[in-house]
Amino acid sequence: GAVVSQHPSRVICKSGTSVKIECRSLDFQATTMFWYRQFPKQSLMLMATSNEGSKATYEQGVEKDKFLINHASLTLSTLTVTSAHPEDSSFYICSASVQGAPGNQPQHFGDGTRLSIL
Amino acid sequence: KNEVEQSPQNLTAQEGEFITINCSYSVGISALHWLQQHPGGGIVSLFMLSSGKKKHGRLIATINIQEKHSSLHITASHPRDSAVYICAVNPTQLTFGTGTRLTIIP
């Protein structure tokens, strides 16, 4: 089945550091990738939709200058948390689909990245 | 905005029991997803369905579009089924329920 690889799985770093998270589709081409954030015991919240070759679409309340998304190829999207602060500590997870609206396509999720900012 | 509610929030059962998790949503959709989130955080897509019923191994998912309701059933539950089960619906972006934390005791 379709596999999405997300790295790193865990990051611990100091406040002010920028952190890059990679999301790769290993055996299929993902025209669309989605980045989610999840706080403890809460549901996933969509942060942005990443389309290959175009600018990401950010959800309301998500700072695009804070969370930089790049989708340079059909198999790779990156999320960079710039100048991270303790409030950015969370679980970040990506998903990918071949094409189309997210609800109408099977979603393939990465294993997530647990980010801890000291 | 589509509201997604799951019940129960937490469920503990003995190994072998039949498990039912429910999901209700507020507006029309074209597909509903059932996801399984493991303790480490990784998510596995179990089902995507738009009508009727789907079965995969010991897992069965049903949906009633008119009633805006779906159920996930697990037969002959096993400790390895312990996870958080999440319901998600469209129509444009996925809206997720808060999940049902299932614990199966040996």
Cβ(B29)–Cβ(B69) below 8 Å: no
Alpha-carbon span A66 to A50, nearest angstrom: 15
Cβ(B106)–Cβ(B17) below 8 Å: no
CA distance B62 to chain A (A): 17
pLDDT at position B52 is 94
Q: What is the mean pLDDT of chain A?
A: 90
Residue A15 has pLDDT above 80, yes or no: yes
B86 — contact with chain A (CB < 8 Å)?
Answer: yes
Alpha-carbon span B76 to B14, nearest angstrom: 10
Q: What angle do CA B82, B86, B88 make, to 5 degrees?
A: 160
B44 — contact with chain A (CB < 8 Å)?
Answer: yes
Cβ(A63)–Cβ(A80) below 8 Å: no
Name every chain B residue with its beta carbon within 8 A of the beta carbon of A41.
98
Residue B106 has pLDDT above 90, yes or no: yes
B94 vs A38, A102, A108: nearest CB: A102
pLDDT at position A98 is 74
Name every chain A residue with its beta carbon within 8 A of the beta carbon of B90.
101-104
For the beta carbon of residue A9, count every other beta carbon within 10 angstroms: 14
pLDDT at position A103 is 59
For the beta carbon of residue B104, count every other beta carbon within 10 angstroms: 20
Distance between start and end Cα atoms, chain B: 40
Task: Identify the helix (H) or strand (E) that includes residue A37.
Answer: strand A32-38
